[in-house]
Amino acid sequence: MNISAPTPENWPFDQAPNVAAITSKQVLAGATITHVYHFDDDDSWVFLHDVGISNDDGQVIGMGTALKIDSSLRGIADLPTGWMATRTGLDSPWIRSLDS
């Protein structure tokens, strides 16, 4: 997949491409992102393949890297703070819900 470099005109998230986000070693190794969290306490984003990861699996990436890994994240870039989006697989639709 070839994604053009983000510009202010085409950047979808409320955080800049160089702002830190959290993911997992598994996502960086190619696992599909199936859980996205947009926290309301610090406006941070988390992109995971599973909810059952350990702290040792956590990795810091830039928001731009997250979009390069999975361009479908554009579809949930407007996720409000305090919400999450989940899906069962790469071709499944994102389901939005309040993060409880």
pLDDT tens track for 32-90: 999 999 999 999 999 999 877 788 999 999 999 999 999 999 999 999 999 999 999 99
Q: Is the confidence at residue 20, as pLDDT, over 90?
A: yes
Domain that includes residue 50, residue range: 20-89
Domain-embedded: residue 68: yes
Domain-embedded: residue 2: no
Domain-embedded: residue 32: yes
Question: Which residues lie closer than 8 Å to 59 by C-beta, 6 or more apart?
Answer: 22, 23, 24, 25, 27, 28
Instruction: State the total domains in the chain.
Output: 1
Only one residue has tokens 């409000």, namely: 80
Q: Is the dihedral of CA 17, 1, 57, 12 positive or negative?
A: positive
